Chains A and B, each alone.
Chain A
Amino acid sequence: MTDQITPTKTIDERGKICPYPDVDTMTTLKKMKKGEILEVLVDYPLSVERIPRSAQKSGHKVLKVQQLDGPNHSILIEALGLK
């Protein structure tokens, strides 16, 4: 994998209960400018699957979903830039 993407911002949602990872991701994305990249670190299985779905639905671009170790995942999302 050579496609190294540098995130503009990283939020650590590991250990958080449902649905804080999703809510935090969506509110952070809302505040970001167009083209900025958000990295979400998350270990909650449902959110790993649901965050890409809802980000896509809101018009943001999901770049990558990667498993790190165990339940930990990194999700890279390019913000649509609503503000």
Chain B
Amino acid sequence: MTAILSGLLVGVLFGFALQRGRFCMNSAFRDIILAREFTLFKALSVAILVEMIGFSIMAMTGVINLAPKPLMWGANIVGGLVFGMGMVLAGGCASGITYRAGEGMVGAMVAISGFGLAGLMSASGVLKPIADFLQKNTKVMTADNKALTLANVFGLDLKITMLVLAILIIVIWAVLALRNKSAEQSFGEKPKSLGEAIFKKGWNWLPTGIVIGLIGMLAFLLSAAAGRNYPLGITGGWTNIWQSLIKWQTVVESQVKISALNWEGAEIIGIVLGALAAALIAGEFAIRAPEPKVILQTFLGGLLMGFGAVLSTGCNIGHILSGVPQLSIGSIVGGISIIAGCWIMAYFLFIRPMNA
């Protein structure tokens, strides 16, 4: 029960921040090539840096144990590419479609259905053999059977490497930013109070990144306390929810747990509720749907995302937001593949038609 409540709490905070920061990795990556826009990519980078420092200090003080995902290069690459292409069709990354469902966007709800369905099919259904095959046959571990990280391939300590690397990147970034100061323009009315800035207006990239990084830290702390020991995740949460709903009886019988809903599943419910609250307060909630053809497109996108994420052992959150700060090579390979898949699909769907 405490696991459910703590997952729910983290989810509500995360959903609120996602909605306010308009934090979507599909947009973050796609906008780089589509519009030369780096706003969301900067928010993501800040979040990862905050987590690198936070996770490192939390691991040094012994409150958490770092848990980088193992490298399964074939699964990471193929799954990442499929996931990345899927999220462009779905109009949002795994966290993006989750929080947008809370904003009332029907396209996102449909994408989630596809995502959960294909995720479950790949985690315990008809597609599982494909995922198993690629994961088992391309798994590479260290000599003492640990997950490969950017630290241990060079024989370095993970916690210290994370901390040093993060500080190094921040210093370089600060120097570069001070050199070419470009004033950021804002449009529309300026917020009149702090309350309005937080609850009514979209957040800038810097506060968005910091807040999401801090929530990532809280997620690691609370999920470790609940026995899960990993930061934020999305894919596992949706498959858990679907599993609980559809196979409740089998899950209850096979596990010695009071509830079939786990920490990550509760986190997902929290994200939708948090985003719903944020959208309602800001007056941004409305049930709205795109045309039927696009609805079908988002469903197909969701299916690809579900298969890709389970095959790759992580979505944009599990790999990029939670795995990259822990310097997991599997997550870095998975993350780069997600970006590559996103760019390939964005090229065919948007860039080529736009220049035609």
Q: Is B285 an interface residue (CB 8 A)?
A: yes
Given the complex, which residues of B lie within 8 Å of A8, measured CB to CB?
none
Q: Which of B26-34, B131-139, B260-268, B315-323 contacts A (4 or more CB under 8 A)?
A: B26-34
A41 nearest CB across to chain B (Å):
12
| Contact of A71 with B by CB under 8 A | yes
- CB neighbours (8 Å) of B354 from chain A are 23, 26-27
- Identify which of residues 1-24 in chain A touch chain B, using a CB-to-CB cut-off of 8 Å: 14-20, 22-23
Within the assembled complex, what's the spacing in Å between the Cα atoms of A16 and B91? 9
A24-83, CB < 8 A from B: 26-27, 43-46, 48-50, 52-54, 56-57, 62, 65, 67, 70-72
Question: Chain B 107-123, CB within 8 Å of chain A: the 1/0 string?
Answer: 11000000000000000
Kindly list 20 other residue pairs between chains A and B, CB separation below 8 angstroms, not including A17-B108, A45-B282.
Answer: A17-B290, A17-B298, A18-B27, A18-B96, A22-B35, A23-B354, A44-B105, A46-B27, A49-B187, A53-B37, A54-B35, A65-B188, A67-B283, A70-B283, A70-B284, A70-B286, A71-B284, A71-B285, A71-B286, A72-B286
Contacts of B197 in A (CB 8 A): none
Which residues of chain B are within 8 angstroms of A14 by Cβ–Cβ distance?
Answer: 288
Residue in chain A with minimal CB distance to B202 = A49
Task: Verify A19–B288 contact, CB threshold 8 A.
Answer: no
Q: Is B168 an interface residue (CB 8 A)?
A: no
**Known contacts A23-B354, A46-B27, A54-B35, A16 near B290 by CB under 8 Å:** yes
Minimum CB–CB distance from B205 to chain A (whole Å) comes to: 11
Known: A71-B284, A71-B285. A15 touches B290 (CB 8 A): yes
A-B contact pairs, 28 of them (CB 8 A): A15-B288, A17-B91, A17-B108, A17-B294, A17-B298, A18-B24, A18-B26, A18-B91, A19-B34, A26-B35, A44-B105, A45-B282, A45-B284, A46-B27, A50-B31, A50-B37, A52-B187, A52-B188, A53-B39, A53-B185, A54-B35, A56-B185, A57-B36, A62-B187, A65-B187, A70-B283, A71-B103, A71-B279
**Distance of A49 Cα from B185 Cα, bound (Å):** 11
* A interface list, Cβ under 8 A from B: 14-20, 22-23, 26-27, 43-46, 48-50, 52-54, 56-57, 62, 65, 67, 70-72
Nearest residue, chain A, Cβ from B346:
A19
Q: Is the CB of A19 within 8 A of B22?
A: no
- Chain B residues bordering chain A, tally (CB within 8 A): 36
* Distance in Å: Cβ of A51 to nearest Cβ of chain B: 9
Tell me if B236 is interfacial: C-beta within 8 Å of chain A.
no
- Give the Cβ gap from B207 to chain A, nearest Cβ, in Å: 14
CB-nearest residue of chain B relative to A44? B105
Residues of B within 8 A of A43 (CB): 286, 288
In the complex, B289 has a CB within 8 A of chain A: yes
Contacts of B39 in A (CB 8 A): 50, 53
Identity of the chain A residue whose Cβ is nearest the Cβ of B283 in the assembled complex:
A70
> Residue-by-residue, is B61-96 near A (CB-CB < 8 Å gives 1, otherwise 0)?
000000000000000000000000000000110001
Chain B min CB distance to A13 (Å): 10
Q: When chains A and B are docked, how far (Å) is the Cα of A17 from the Cα of B92?
A: 9
